[in-house]
Amino acid sequence: MVAAEAVLEAATVRLRPLTEGDLPLLMRWSNDPEVRHWLHRSERPPSTLDLERQLHEQRLRDPSSVEWCIETHDAGPIGVVRLRGIDEAHTRAELGVYIGAKASWGRGYGTDAIRRVLSFAFEELGLRRVWLITDADNARGIRCYEKCGFAKEGLLRGHRLRYGAPLDMLAMGVLREEFARLDSEDGD
136 in helix, strand or coil?
coil
Q: Tell whether 26 is covered by a domain.
A: yes
Domain assignment of residue 171, given as a range = 8-187
Q: Tell whether 146 is covered by a domain.
A: yes
Number of folded domains in the chain? 1
- Pairwise CA distance, residues 162 & 112, whole Å: 28
Q: CB under 8 Å to 163, separation ≥6 — which residues?
A: 42, 43
What's the CATH code of the domain at 150?
3.40.630.30
Q: With beta carbons less than 8 A apart as the criterion, state whether 109 and 81 touch.
A: no
* Antiparallel, parallel or unpaired: β 76-84 and 13-17: unpaired
Q: Tell whether 51 is covered by a domain.
A: yes
Handedness of CA 150, 151, 152, 154 (dihedral sign): negative
Could you read off the pLDDT tens digit of each residue along the chain, which spans 188 residues?
A: 455 578 999 999 999 999 999 999 999 999 999 999 998 887 888 999 999 999 999 988 999 999 999 999 887 999 999 999 999 888 999 999 999 999 999 999 999 999 999 999 999 999 999 999 999 999 999 999 999 999 999 999 999 999 889 999 999 999 999 999 987 777 65
Q: Tell whether 2 is covered by a domain.
A: no
Instruction: Using alpha carbons, select from 29, 32, 120, 143 the residue that is nearest to residue 77.
Output: 29
Q: Tell whether 38 is covered by a domain.
A: yes
Q: How many residues does the chain have?
A: 188
